[in-house]
């Protein structure tokens, strides 16, 4: 079985492929063996807002959402902003961690061949079909909570929600065009419908669990659990367990890890 696990991270101070040193106290994907360094321009997948060696802000998801709980239920707020364009609309940055963002360009597709460096004319100006960011493709910015929006989810949320109408459907509409994504953290999207089973007294689905895990790990963990003496902390989303149970324990599991060095 391929090495997917945690062992060996402790003494690694730089990526064994791209040789970039890991800064201390930073969030990194799979610190031991950067799978993305195959693409020189994207040697690591950085996580959340942080700083790199040059103290420069790392390119990060622009639509991560903060969460707060109250008697009203949960409130999601998007704090970050995207890049404004001349037309007043915003141009989203790629998320940096989806399958597309982790892929190298193929050099063979329509858009690759359009690039001048492959001899093309540069008229199409799109990224490689394999590199297309999954969190941009298929979603509009309006699918997410916006800056300063406060979107509440609660059992009797119909009257309560101000900026986004929340209707918790009982049956899951698989490809509804009215999906609203309340929250996004690294690798997780939260849909309104994800809460249906919660408020029906049934179960927490994986999306909620993973969103909460990432949120705790990135936002609450540093303050509340600094008394723990470990240096390295690892977060394994439920996806990892699912893959293990399916016998799919391969190197791709590394991509789901969040690793934190205190």
Q: Does 85 bind DNA (CB under 7 A)?
A: yes
For DNA, the closer of residues 26 and 131 by Cβ is: 131
Q: Which long-range contacts (CB under 8 A, 24 or more apart) does 230-233 make?
A: 230/262, 231/10, 231/261, 231/262, 232/6, 232/9, 232/10, 232/259, 232/260, 232/261, 232/262, 233/259, 233/260, 233/261, 233/262
Q: Does 101 bind Zn ion (CB under 5 A)?
A: yes
| Site map (CB under 7 A) of DNA, residues 35-74, x = contact | ------x-----------------x---------------
| Site map (CB under 7 A) of DNA, residues 120-139, x = contact | --xxxxxxx--xxx--x---
Q: Which helix H or strand E contains 84, and what residues bound it?
A: strand 83-84
- Select from DNA, Zn ion, none the partner in contact with residue 119, using the beta carbon and a kind-dependent cut-off of 5 to 8 Å: none
| DSSP SS3 for 256 | helix
- Please report how the helices 206-215 and 238-245 are oriented relative to each other, as an axis angle in degrees rounded to 10: 130
Q: How far apart are CA 31 and CA 254, in angstroms?
A: 9
Q: Does 112 bind Zn ion (CB under 5 A)?
A: yes
The tokens describing 206, both together, are 């994986």
Q: How far apart are CA 104 and CA 124, in angstroms?
A: 19
Q: Which of 109, 196, 198, 262 binds Zn ion (CB under 5 A)?
A: 109
Number of other residues whose CB lies within 10 A of the CB of residue 171:
7
Q: Which of 44, 92, 152, 186 binds DNA (CB under 7 A)?
A: 92
Question: In the range 12-71, which residues lie near Zn ion by CB under 5 A?
Answer: none
Question: In the range 116-175, which residues lie near Zn ion by CB under 5 A?
Answer: 128, 133, 135
Q: Does 91 bind DNA (CB under 7 A)?
A: yes
Which positions touch Zn ion (CB under 5 A)?
A: 94-95, 98, 101, 105-106, 109, 112, 128, 133, 135
Which positions touch DNA (CB under 7 A)?
A: 41, 59, 82-87, 89-94, 105, 110, 115-117, 122-128, 131-133, 136, 141
């Amino acid at each position: 079985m391929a090495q997917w696990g945690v062992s060996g991270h402790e003494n690694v101070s730089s990526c064994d492929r791209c040789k970039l040193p890991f800064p201390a106290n930073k969030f990194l994907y799979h610190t031991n063996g950067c799978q993305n360094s195959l693409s020189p321009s994207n040697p690591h997948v950085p996580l959340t807002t942080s700083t790199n060696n040059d103290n420069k802000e790392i390119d990060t998801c622009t639509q991560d959402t903060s969460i707060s709980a109250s008697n009203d239920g949960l409130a999601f707020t998007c704090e970050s902003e995207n890049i404004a364009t001349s037309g007043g609309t915003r141009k989203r940055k790629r998320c940096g961690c989806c399958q597309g963002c982790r892929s190298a360009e193929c050099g063979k597709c329509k858009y690759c061949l359009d690039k001048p460096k492959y001899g093309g004319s540069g008229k199409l100006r799109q990224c490689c079909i394999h590199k297309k960011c999954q969190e941009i493709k298929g979603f509009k910015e309006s699918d997410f909570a916006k800056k300063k929006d406060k979107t509440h989810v609660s059992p009797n949320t119909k009257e309560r929600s101000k900026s986004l109408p929340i209707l918790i459907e009982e049956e899951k509409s698989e490809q509804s065009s009215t999906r609203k994504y309340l929250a996004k953290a690294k690798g997780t999207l939260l849909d309104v419908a994800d809460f249906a089973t919660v408020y029906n007294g049934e179960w927490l689905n994986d999306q909620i669990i993973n969103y909460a895990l990432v949120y705790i790990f990135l936002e609450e963990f540093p303050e509340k659990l600094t008394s723990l003496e470990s240096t390295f902390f690892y977060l394994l989303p439920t996806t990892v367990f699912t893959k293990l149970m399916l016998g799919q324990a391969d190197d791709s599991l590394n991509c789901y890890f969040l690793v934190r060095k205190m």
